[in-house]
Amino acid sequence: MPSKSTKNNPSRPAVRVRTSRRPHSGKIQPKEDLFDKAFRLSPHPIGITELDTGRCLEINDTCLNIFGFQRDEVIGKTTLMLGIWPDPRERAKLIDRLQSEGSVRNAEVSMRMKNKDLRHFLISTDLITLNGKRCLLTIGNDITERKQAEGALRELNELLEHRVAERTAALCTVQARQQVLLQANPVVLYARRTTGDFSTTFISENVVQQLGYSPKDFMEYSDFWVTRLHPDDRSQVLANLSTILEQERHVHEYRFRHRDGSYRWLYDELRILRDEVGVPLELIGFQIDVTRRKRAEEELRRHQTKLEELTSKLLTAQERERQRIARDLHDDVTQRLASLAVDAGSLERLCQSDPGLLQQCRSIREAAGQLADDVHSFAYRLHPSSLEHLGLEAAIQDHTHEFAQRAGLVVQYASRDVPKAIPTDRALCLYRVAQESLQNVMKHAEASTVVVRLLGTPNGVGVCIHDDGKGLEEQGSPTRGLGLLSMEERVRLVEGMFRIRTRPGDGTEVHAWVPLPDARQEVAP
């Protein structure tokens, strides 16, 4: 079904949701039309249903195309009415798991299409709030073809393992070898020499369908197989084969030139055949054309790259909006509050003769001054100016000091070998990790002491936040929500490493490390 934009289709509402897993914090959200476009144009099926009733509220065109429904057949109907759950109890189990854990990732389920066909999906589901109602946002990945291919390959491997084990003794003669290998269709079976150029001594007739060459082509020229390996794969393939005498069995994948000039990906599994006294006779094995699978994997990688680019743009837009708001608060609101405090002070001096009015003026002046300080502190947390002007070390140290005063906790700060110059994106990444980690400590950890360390390494710089709180109880802990996902995503986008160490009752330790473009950085004194 062709995709139609919401601008040209007023009957289709734009997707505007807010997840129920994280309370509104005052941060500027990405533009709604961007999310609506991502929803509509996603190559993955996406749907939004009510939690309590299962009624479908929205669905993208990809989902409609896969299931075979028209939009008016789906919107307003429940999933049970549509009959897409072969066993309704599976949906109930999914709801129970979602309510217990807060989200479900990559759950494997089977769904029934409109034409009654059964397809398999990996689905990820989150609880969201839409127009005041609890709903499910579900994103799927159709793995039907992959499951079928894996099942067929698994059965084939089991068959070949069984047959090779049964016939190993009989393969000492050419006649026995050919008899067994020819029974194992449809894969291409072969035999090669164990040394030299590994020339082909036998290959089954179905190689014509797989690669376009006849068995004679392979066996007439000793270098036929080697010279048609992809140039980028040849050295590695030959290196792997040179160790086969020690490994006894080897599996690899490589590209081989088809007769039409194109390259096909082959899955190749081989073993060494020995005589009664253990002397190597031949390499025997089978190869399968896995080009379609490889193309699917490459397409998946391209989609993942696009998703990473979109995530990076969203994070960049969020930081720019934070910076703009912080600047507006500092340049406008705090200045006006400061002026209000000055005016209240002037009014206080004029009311010296009236004690009651004097006290009110003093209260107004103090309140205005406190409000100005609070707004200034909030603007700084949105976008710390010290990060730009003084660097990462000063910014984290300032935030650690401010956090200690605000949270009333004992906070220890230490730094070592921190480079002077750190790229802005990496410095901002580590700052946000420290900021979010300390916020989690204050909200969830019930800690009394926090240790913050900023450490330079030969190839990068890392930050570590350790608390002596209660630790993470389970996967559904509040600290494993969007804040943790945001930290992980930030670190991954700059090719860094992120991990958490925790045990119930023994605190939590968050580690984030990012590489630096030039490892030979000058270190701050």
Query: Does the pLDDT value for residue 185 go beyond 70?
Result: no
Task: Identify the CATH number of the domain in which residue 117 sits.
Answer: 3.30.450.20
Spatial distance between the Cα atoms of 439 and 452, rounded to a whole number of angstroms: 13
Task: Please give the average per-residue pLDDT across 17-35, as a whole number.
Answer: 49
Q: Are residues 55 and 137 in the same domain?
A: yes
Pick 146 or 319 by higher pLDDT: 146
pLDDT at 64 > cutoff 90: yes
Residues 515 and 447 in one domain: yes
Residue 48 near residue 17 (C-beta atoms within 8 A): yes
Domain boundary among 102, 122, 142: 142
What is residue 487's predicted lDDT score, i.e. its pLDDT? 80
Closest CA to 273 of 180, 207, 196, 185: 180
pLDDT band at residue 439 using 50, 70 and 90 as cut-offs: confident
Same domain, 443 and 370: no
Q: What is the pLDDT of residues 445-502, one digit of tens each?
A: 888 889 999 998 888 999 999 998 888 765 444 445 556 777 888 888 888 899 888 8
Give the domain CATH number at 520: 3.30.565.10
- Domain-located, residue 12: no
Res. 125: pLDDT tops 80: yes
On the question of pLDDT at 525 being above 60, the answer is no
pTM above 0.75, yes or no: no
Q: What is the mean pLDDT of the chain?
A: 79
Q: Is the pLDDT of residue 70 over 90?
A: yes
- Higher-pLDDT residue of 53, 347: 53
Tell which wins on pLDDT, 387 or 261: 261
Confidence at residue 62, expressed as pLDDT on a 0 to 100 scale: 92
In a domain, 215, yes or no: yes
Report which of 77, 50, 284, 91 is spatially closest to residue 182, judged by C-alpha positions.
284
Which amino acid belongs to residue 39? Answer: F
Q: Are strands 280-289 and 497-502 parallel, antiparallel or unpaired?
A: unpaired
Q: Is 358 in the same domain as 392? A: no
**Cα-Cα end-to-end distance for the chain:** 63
Let me know whether 128 and 177 are in one domain: no
Residue 3 forms part of a structural domain: no
Asked if 98 contacts 110 with a C-beta cutoff of 8 angstroms, the reply is no
Q: Are residues 353 and 240 in the same domain?
A: no
Both 274 and 303 in one domain: the answer is no
Cα–Cα distance measured from residue 142 to residue 121, given in angstroms and rounded to the nearest whole number: 5
| SS3 assignment, position 321 | helix
Rounded mean pLDDT, 508-512: 91
Reply yes or no on whether the pLDDT at 381 is more than 60.
Answer: no
Using DSSP's 3-state secondary structure scheme, residue 497 falls into strand
Q: In the chain, how many domains are there? A: 4
List pLDDT tens digits, range 305-319. Answer: 777 677 666 666 666
Region 45-64: what's the mean pLDDT? 91
Strand runs (DSSP E) across 432-516, as ranges? 449-456, 460-467, 497-502, 508-515
- What one-character-per-residue DSSP string does 125-186 give? EEEEEETTEEEEEEEEEE-HHHHHHHHHHHHHHHHHHHHHHHHTGGGGSHHHHHHHHHTSTT
Percent pLDDT > 70 in the chain is 74
Domain end residue (candidates: 383, 400, 418):
383
- Whether 241 and 280 map to the same domain: the answer is yes
- Token readout for 51 is 């939690």
Q: Based on the fold, state whether residues 37 and 64 are members of the same structural domain.
A: yes
Q: Is residue 10 part of a domain?
A: no
What pLDDT score was predicted for residue 374? 64
Give tens-digit pLDDT for 213-243: 999 999 988 889 999 999 999 999 988 888 8
Q: State what percent of residues in the chain have pLDDT above 90.
A: 24
pLDDT higher than 50, residue 6: no
Residue 520 has pLDDT above 60, yes or no: no
Q: Could you tell me if residue 1 is inside a domain?
A: no
Q: How far is CA 1 from CA 5, 46, 462, in A?
A: 13, 15, 48
Distances (CA, A) of 302 to 21, 123, 296, 305: 30, 20, 10, 5
471 shares its domain with 507? yes
pLDDT at 178: 54
- Position 183 confidence tier, pLDDT thresholds 50, 70, 90: very low
User: What are the structure tokens assigned to 414, written together?
Assistant: 């230490």
End of a domain among 264, 289, 314? Answer: 289
Which segment of 219-223, 245-249, 342-346, 399-403 scores lowest on mean pLDDT? 342-346
φ/ψ of 119, rounded to 5, equals: -125, 160
pLDDT band, very low/low/confident/very high, at 79 (cuts 50, 70, 90):
confident
Instruction: Retrieve residue 458's tokens.
Output: 């030969």
pLDDT at 15: 47
- Write down the pLDDT at residue 14: 45
Residue 345 vs residue 259, higher pLDDT: 259
Give whole-number Cα distances, 20 to 1, 51, 60, 103, in Å: 32, 12, 22, 11
The pLDDT value given to residue 3: 37
Could you tell me which residue, 349 or 23, shows the higher pLDDT?
A: 349
Give the model's pLDDT for residue 23. 43
Using pLDDT thresholds of 50, 70 and 90, give the confidence band for residue 46.
very high
Name the pLDDT band for 18 (thresholds 50, 70, 90): very low
- Is the domain of 397 the same as that of 474? yes
CA gap 511, 386 in Å, rounded? 23
- Residue 208 included in any domain: yes
Structural domain boundaries enclosing 493: 384-525
Q: Please report the pLDDT score of residue 174 as a whole number.
A: 55
Q: What is the pLDDT of residue 379?
A: 57
- The verdict on 208 and 268 lying in the same domain is yes
pLDDT of residue 422: 86
